[in-house]
Structure 1
Amino acid sequence: MAGVIEMTARRRLPSPLLTRMRDRSPGLGGALMGGAVAAGLGLASFAVLVMMLWITSPYPDSGPGGALHVAAALWLLAHGAELLRTDTLAGVAAPVGVPPLLLLALPVWLLHRAARDATDGGAGDGDDGIAEDVEEVVDIAVVAGPPLVSARNAWTGVVLGYLAVAAPAALYAAGGALRPSWVSAGVCVPLVAAVAAGAGVWSAYGRPGGPLRRLLGVLPVGVRPLVLGPDGRPGVAARAAAAGAAVLLGGGALLVVLSLVGHGAAAQAALLRLTEGWSGRFAVLLLCAALVPNAAVWGAAYALGPGFALGAGHVVSPLSSAPAPFLPPFPLLAAVPEAGEGRLVHWAAAGAVPVVAGVVVGWVVAREAAAGECGGRGVVRSPGRTARAAALAAVLCAAVLAGLAALAGGPLGVTVLSRFGPVWWQVGTATLAWLVLVAVPTAMSVRAWRIRAPRTDGPNIGRQREEPADGAQQPAGGPESAGSAGLNGSAGAAGVSGGGASPPDGTAEPGTSSPTPDDPYVPYAPYDDAPYGLQDLDDTPFEPYDFLPADPAHKPDTP
């Protein structure tokens, strides 16, 4: 034991350069790692799906390298980047610019989660030998406290880390049959990363209203509270616009489902004709599921009137349907109405969707106009303010539908298939026209009806004196004589049975009878047993002689 030398294990101190970088930008390294991991997870998910379909395919066209190229290209397409298909019969690259909107949900969710976690700065990840109960307390304190990393460092790190993986993925995808368009990929991928990461950081900081107010600084002062409330929550126009957009998209999806049910045989024939193996049919069904949000937007465009294009010069709308003659067999395309003029059922089904959306927008605005937003106190808005709120909600809803229409469509080839999907500016204009014509009159009418409606439940304050309790005996002469009745002791509520007054301590005097269980029960009435005329302190003004007996000749019995 004499030869044993005690030594202390010490950690290696970081270099001064690393220390200065960490102090200047705390959490930047963790944010970079989080963004890279989010991009890697997205690519891995697409690669696993494509490789599974390639393995189960009975006749694969290429090897595993080709499948990985396709996975990287689909990952870029999910961000909205346009692809170029090179293996065409004419030898000219054909663009593929219709991104399945459901695939966009995975990258957005990963970026949002990475940016939200990056604000913690990796607190609690290391193991320093602290007890479990202490770690739980520290974790609770970290969650309850403000984020440890600044918003700028977290956002910058996540975006740069994500793009650091996206750039090699785009270079790798350029060697396959589906090559990305560099201009489209250079715009869409950074835009999605910036917006999703910004939303994640904003959510981690408790969704403050300051950044949104700075973005809304271009709007007039009177319009800003309608978009963003004083408490940081969406204003009445924003909530009404969200409700209208939900109704339009839901109505469009319902039209697509009804049309698919009516054309079920054609959809089944298209699925069986497109592929023979079960793996290929499963892939087609997965593609149909990824295109369901696109179909909902197309259905909303059809209901609004402009419709959508199935090729250059071939527009499908409620008034007339003219699809392209050479369309590929696809189950969702089987829901397109037959060529020719629209029938009455098409007009009624399509026209009901924007009318219901306008009514919903007007009702939401009118409810807020009649009830008010000031703590629910019933502050009534003016008719002009109500009309402006409904019109602003129509503008916001039109902007949302126009953006979704721009994302849901694009080219699928050259010449005939260069236009595929709704035209964004036509959809936005039609949405604005429908909602202004329906929502503004609805808001004004519902507001007037809610204001003039009789109110059955009013405040009950002050009714206790007007409606005494059942069984309470009011002194003769009305409320004015209540004070004298309480002082003279003539009322039974004073506890006197023989004409004498009881002492203040409640003990009975000699010669008087105390209450017994056989005495009748007298219900309690408020303030009946209060001495010195305190019964009417609520309304009766104070007089200097209120504490004197009402009858000067009367003298209380002395013991």
Structure 2
Amino acid sequence: MTARRTSSSPLLARLRDRTPGLAAGLLGGAVAAGLGLGSFAVLVIMLWISSPYPDSGPGGALHVAAALWLLAHGVELVRTDTLSGVPAPVGVTPLLLPALPLWLVHRAARDAASEDEESPTASGRTAWAGVVLGYLPVAAAAALYASGGALRPSWVWTCGCLPVLVMGAAGVGVWTAYGRPSGAVDGVLVLLPPAMRRLVRGADARARLAVAARAAGAGISVVVGGGAALLGVSLVAHGAATRASFLQLTEGWSGRFAVLLLCLALVPNAAVWAAGYAVGPGFVLGAGHVVGPLSSDPAPTLPSFPLLAAVPEAGLGGPAHWAAGVVPLVAGAVVGWFVGRASATGWSRGRTAGAVCWAAVLCAGTVAALAVPAGGPLGVGTLARFGPVWWQVGGAVMGWIAGVGLPVALAVRAWRGRSRGGPRQWVPVPRLSPRKATGGAETAPGTALGAAPGTASGTASGTAPAAVPVEANGPQDDTYDQHDTHARRDQDDTYEPYGFLPAAPETGPGPSSTPWYDDPAHETRWAALKEASTPPEEAPPEEAPPEESPEKPPPTD
């Protein structure tokens, strides 16, 4: 029992303590990749089995499933079986496909980090590294397997885009498991240049960014949702062409079901295209063919597809096309309303304008980021470009949000500030105590409020003195505001309200809004003024003996 055991090295102890958390992360990442890949494989195999004319065997279907799973991670594919023999890139990523893989990575990292919280030596970095290191080998194996099929992944995109998406989704999962702490955001902000870091750090900057983020979220929802609404209206307007393209594209219920699934996966892409059309730049339907609200170039010969049937006709746009501008107009108004409501608590005009500009930047960046995967190449030559141009759409969104949101935010701020801090109503109030009259004479007890010194406060019948209305925020003469619970006496022997006073929004900070009972300076000053103004005590006058009241005669019957 007294023999000392040889202690292991600190490195081995650290590895032993961290092994459970790292192993759980590795297993979670591998399972997440396997579940996503298996889901795509099951779907493709079901469509292959139900197809009456399969082009290849089950091996080809599995190759297609692996390629689609990589496409869901933003990897560009290359189609080799073309008529010309020239490989054709396929870069349009259906925005609904990444939902499942990214959600699986997010959940795996969140669960691994939640298990690590029970261990005092484990950390979120261990869970994040385990999930990423467990996911990437499965993705590399899937890429190697898909490279032998007709749709081959581009290794540049595989090595660049796929790890970034996985690391980002895992990082968000770990951040969610730890309760979304703000310290993690500060750690990311350290990577920014010093000039930009000063703009986003600090309590005031965080408040502005929080308001701008909420307003930007509302604006993005309006822009993308408005694009989806425009897509629905266009599909209804071109209902005959949409129905004909859907029926002519394939035969059999299995083929039509596959086309329907593809259309559903491409609906978010079409909504982003319609949003680009609404903000002005439009979208590209083949190299050199721009479709916009003002004018549309003749589109090249395109395959019959239901979503492409909703494209507006070529030519100059009319009032029906110009009406799409309502979407960014409403988005800018919504952003301005959100910022104006939050800035009515004391922000200046500059801060309000800064929050609107931040919201515009966030909206533009998000829409531009959505436009990148929503479009892309579908071949070579004329088919080398499809979808909105990200920098044009982002710039247009920023201009709309800033141009419309700024005046709306300032107007809402001014209206709410006026309704909260406007002049009070005139109210009748009584006087607190006898006051010194003009010329140094004391006001007699019972003097009517607002009456001259020496006058009676009422008539012989006991009528109440008349009250004089005064303005609460105006000059105080001989009255007291009923909205304020206390008053203080100044050197000129006048009463001033000492309570909750509204701050002036334009001329800087106004009077203190601290209540009188929480202000230590008020207590000290009040005691000093009370002691200085209290007259010396005089001997009380001798009281006269009470007069004897005459006895009343007894009542007589």
Match of 2:74 among 59, 80, 87: 80
CA distance in 1, matches of 2:410, 2:545: 69
CA distance 1:186–1:551, change in 2 (3 Å): farther
CA distance in 2, matches of 1:110, 1:552: 94
Corresponding residue of 1:107: 101
1:56 equivalent to 2:30? Answer no
Share of identical aligned residues, percent?
A: 64
Match of 1:34 among 24, 28, 31: 28
1:386 equivalent to 2:352? Answer yes
CA distance 1:424–1:225, change in 2 (3 Å): farther
SS in 2 for 1:189: helix
CA deviations 1:248-302 (Å, max 9, x no partner) are 0011110000000111111111111110111010011101111111111111100
CA distance 1:76–1:227, change in 2 (3 Å): farther
Question: What's the CA shift for 1:22?
Answer: 2.4
Match of 2:166 among 188, 193, 202: 193
Corresponding residue of 2:482: none
Q: 1:226·1:235 contact (CA, 8 Å) conserved in 2?
A: no
1:426 equivalent to 2:392? Answer yes
CA distance 1:148–1:61, change in 2 (3 Å): farther
Question: What's the CA shift for 1:228?
Answer: 6.7
1:358-369, aligned counterparts within 5 Å?
A: 358-369=332-343
CA distance 1:48–1:545, change in 2 (3 Å): farther
CA distance in 1, matches of 2:171, 2:430: 57
CA distance 1:464–1:65, change in 2 (3 Å): farther
CA distance in 2, matches of 1:420, 1:549: 101
CA distance 1:227–1:411, change in 2 (3 Å): farther
Q: 1:366·1:386 contact (CA, 8 Å) conserved in 2?
A: yes
Corresponding residue of 2:179: 206
CA distance in 2, matches of 1:252, 1:226: 36
Corresponding residue of 2:372: 406
SS in 2 for 1:120: helix
Cα-Cα RMSD: 3.3
Corresponding residue of 1:271: 246
SS in 1 for 2:47: helix
Question: What's the CA shift for 1:149?
Answer: 3.1
CA distance in 1, matches of 2:158, 2:18: 32
Question: What's the CA shift for 1:65?
Answer: 0.7
CA distance in 2, matches of 1:457, 1:28: 65
1:245 equivalent to 2:239? Answer no
Task: Give the counterpart letter for 2:170 in structure 1.
Answer: A
CA distance 1:165–1:21, change in 2 (3 Å): same
CA distance 1:71–1:226, change in 2 (3 Å): farther
1:353 equivalent to 2:347? Answer no
Q: 1:294·1:408 contact (CA, 8 Å) conserved in 2?
A: yes
Corresponding residue of 1:448: 414
1:159-558, aligned counterparts within 5 Å?
A: 159-217=132-190, 218=193, 219-224=196-201, 229=206, 235-348=210-323, 350-371=324-345, 380-453=346-419
Q: 1:409·1:422 contact (CA, 8 Å) conserved in 2?
A: yes
CA distance in 1, matches of 2:430, 2:268: 60
Task: Give the counterpart letter for 1:221 in structure 2.
Answer: R
Question: What's the CA shift for 1:121?
Answer: 3.5
Task: Give the counterpart letter for 2:252 in structure 1.
Answer: G
CA distance 1:549–1:115, change in 2 (3 Å): farther
CA distance in 2, matches of 1:550, 1:45: 103
CA deviations 1:224-249 (Å, max 9, x no partner) are 4699736xx96111111111111100
Q: How many residue pairs were aligned?
A: 440
Corresponding residue of 2:474: none
SS in 2 for 1:221: helix
Question: What's the CA shift for 1:322?
Answer: 2.2
Q: 1:307·1:318 contact (CA, 8 Å) conserved in 2?
A: yes
Q: 2:74·2:373 contact (CA, 8 Å) conserved in 1?
A: yes
CA deviations 1:23-54 (Å, max 9, x no partner) are 25551111011000000000010011111111
Q: 1:310·1:323 contact (CA, 8 Å) conserved in 2?
A: no
Task: Give the counterpart letter for 2:395 in structure 1.
Answer: T
SS in 1 for 2:78: strand
Question: What's the CA shift for 1:545?
Answer: 11
CA distance 1:225–1:298, change in 2 (3 Å): farther
CA distance in 2, matches of 1:227, 1:196: 29
SS in 2 for 1:309: strand
CA deviations 1:191-229 (Å, max 9, x no partner) are 110000000001111111112123234325244469973
Corresponding residue of 1:68: 62
CA distance in 2, matches of 1:550, 1:409: 100
CA deviations 1:430-468 (Å, max 9, x no partner) are 11111121111111122112111256999xxxx9999xx
CA deviations 1:128-173 (Å, max 9, x no partner) are xxxxxxxxxxxxxx5xxx9873111111110110001000000000
CA distance in 2, matches of 1:209, 1:122: 20
SS in 2 for 1:81: coil
CA distance 1:390–1:196, change in 2 (3 Å): same
Corresponding residue of 2:493: none
Task: Give the counterpart letter for 2:206 in structure 1.
Answer: G
147-156 or 321-330: bigger deviation: 147-156
CA distance 1:19–1:388, change in 2 (3 Å): closer
CA distance in 1, matches of 2:181, 2:47: 44
CA distance in 2, matches of 1:551, 1:369: 66
Unpaired stretches in structure 1, ≥5 consecutive residues: 1-15, 124-141, 372-379, 467-475, 479-537
Task: Give the counterpart letter for 2:62 in structure 1.
Answer: L
CA distance in 1, matches of 2:399, 2:215: 16
Q: 1:120·1:149 contact (CA, 8 Å) conserved in 2?
A: no
Unpaired stretches in structure 2, ≥5 consecutive residues: 1-9, 433-444, 448-516, 518-525, 547-557
SS in 2 for 1:313: coil
Q: 2:209·2:355 contact (CA, 8 Å) conserved in 1?
A: no
